[in-house]
């Protein structure tokens, strides 16, 4: 990695498992999938790997699902807008610059200092909505 940190085998496996899907992945699901590869892995092992990957900007925590997704914009510092489909459970990360700028203006007017910004919106994605539209 170019940041001068080490991507250990367990960190790499966790990252690979998260990036293997557009769906949010829970820590204990990761543990179950890592156990065959790393029999000594414990929950703390996975949580340390997740903390490291978040710190490096490679993944995000989806707070409302208590799960994790890969970061689509890992090369830059950013806020996140997460669109979460309640049917297929896929999560799409968007930069949504206009939304975030508007939000920043609102917070500035209130003299509110944010430590992090993440907006999670639950709804139905276009892939899941299309069959519903075709039925009508």
Distances in whole angstroms, Cα of residue 59 to Cα of each of 18, 47, 68, 106:
8, 13, 7, 27
Contact criterion met (CB below 8 Å) for 78 and 71: no
Contact criterion met (CB below 8 Å) for 65 and 84: yes
The DSSP string of 122-136 is EE--HHHHHHHHHH-
128 is in an annotated binding site: yes
> Dihedral of CA 78/8/28/125: which sign?
positive
71 is in an annotated binding site: no
Query: What angle do helix axes 27-34 and 9-19 make, rounded to 10 degrees?
Result: 120
Torsion angle, alpha carbons of 65, 13, 50, 117, to 10: -60
Q: Binding site: residue ranges?
A: 85, 88, 125, 128
Q: Binding site for Zn(2+): residue ranges?
A: 85, 88, 125, 128
């Amino acid at each position: 990695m170019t940041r001068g940190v080490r991507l250990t085998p367990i960190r790499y496996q966790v990252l690979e498992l998260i990036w293997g899907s557009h769906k949010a992945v829970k820590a204990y699901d990761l543990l179950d999938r890592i156990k065959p590869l790393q029999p000594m892995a414990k929950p703390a092992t996975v949580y340390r790997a997740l903390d490291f990957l978040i710190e490096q900007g490679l993944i995000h925590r989806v707070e409302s699902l208590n799960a994790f997704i890969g970061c689509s914009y890992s090369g830059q510092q950013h806020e996140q807008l997460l669109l979460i489909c309640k049917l297929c459970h896929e999560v799409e990360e968007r930069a949504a610059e206009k939304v975030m700028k508007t939000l920043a203006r609102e917070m500035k007017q209130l003299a509110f200092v944010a430590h992090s910004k993440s907006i999670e919106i639950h709804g139905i994605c276009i892939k899941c909505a299309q069959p519903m539209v075709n039925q009508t």
